[in-house]
Amino acid sequence: MSDRFLPRLAESHTPVTRVQLFRTDGSVVELEHTGGSVAVDRGQAIRRTCTVTSADVSLIPRTPTDQLAVYGARLRIARGVDYGDGTTELVPLGVFRLDSVEGDVAEGPVTLQGKDLSACVADDKLTEPYKATGTVVGAITSLIQRSLPDAAVISTIVDAPIGARTFDVEADPWAGVQEIAAAAGAECYANADGEFVIATLPELTTTPAVWEVAATEGGVYVSGSRAMTSDNVCNGVLARGENTEENVPPVSYLATDDDLNSPTYWGGPYGRRPRFYSSSTLITEEACAQAAGLKLKASKAPNASGDFSSLPNPALEPGDVVRVVHPDGTRELHQVQSFSVPLDYGGDFPITTIGAKEDE
């Protein structure tokens, strides 16, 4: 959950966005931008991506020296408020690997696009077999720092042992990171500060709301919709592990939706719709239970969702719980799945949520 919310965010304050380009030659360019956005989506392998537009055509690399300074360059983006008293307050939106620069060389505009630092791990495909061993945190840290030696890895979970897992040549190390994290019921992602976080998804029913999107006077609600679907919604996950390399016998655990009041209750009218997951990293029933619980949350989540638009809040994080107050007074708790933060001052701020519950 984010603890970086601007304490005095209000419509009366002037929005401020800062975009910095860190070139590989050591220089830092403050980008005067004309627009763009930062998209954040928990459902994507690369959680944060960005698009920045600028009128500065000198950003387009023309010489080999220019190209060397761009390949491997990074963007750091932040947004906040100017309080009008000489002070500003910014929260980070992400650290991105610059992937492309394009535009009309004479008139512009120039468009820069980037992905968060997990893309550096994902693209560093294995050129020889790689064996992950030890614990969840240790194995994930080793895989990440294989590609980014200086990367900071922050864990908020209880560490747990894993079974040895050998990844083949051509395997995606970032997918391997997620497989290892699942053994502790966790996920791993690059946060807005450019650090890697290992954490579990907060429980919607027990986590306090960090923000209210209300259709009231002074509220930030612009528009909203509510939906339910059974597409791709499962209410049970059987996680299995067997590690012949370490002579560990097969283990398994079936996690089901056991909430009698849930529309996807395992023994209810919805029926039984299981999903299956297996990994050699799972060597205990507890690890299977953790992985099954993680996958079950993701499998149940789409059955109740919302799409809302509000005034921008750049400190929001996927997994945050928000309270939504509709125009008819209905109050609901939603868990944030994705959103897009505009870099211009008049842009929209759409939020997609999962796992909506009535707020009593």
User: What pLDDT band is residue 8 in, cutting at 50, 70 and 90?
Assistant: very low
Query: How many Cβ atoms are within 10 Å of 128's Cβ, its own excluded?
Result: 7
Q: What per-residue confidence (pLDDT) applies to 1?
A: 41
With H, G, I as helix, E, B as strand and everything else as coil, classify residue 137: helix
pLDDT of 5 strictly over 50: no
pLDDT greater at residue 134 or residue 3: 134
Residue pLDDT, tens place only, 103-121: 988 888 999 999 999 999 9
**Adjacent-strand bridge partners of 113:** 51, 100
Q: What per-residue confidence (pLDDT) applies to 88?
A: 80
Phi, psi at 175, each rounded to 5° = -65, -35
CA within 13 Å, CB half, 148: 23
Q: What per-residue confidence (pLDDT) applies to 61?
A: 87
Say which DSSP state 16 is in.
Answer: E
Nearest CA-CA partner of 180 in 280, 277, 41, 44: 280
Q: What average pLDDT score do residues 291-317 get?
A: 83
Nearest CA-CA partner of 357 in 311, 317, 300, 316: 300
Residue 116 parent element (H or E): strand 110-116
Mean pLDDT of the chain: 88
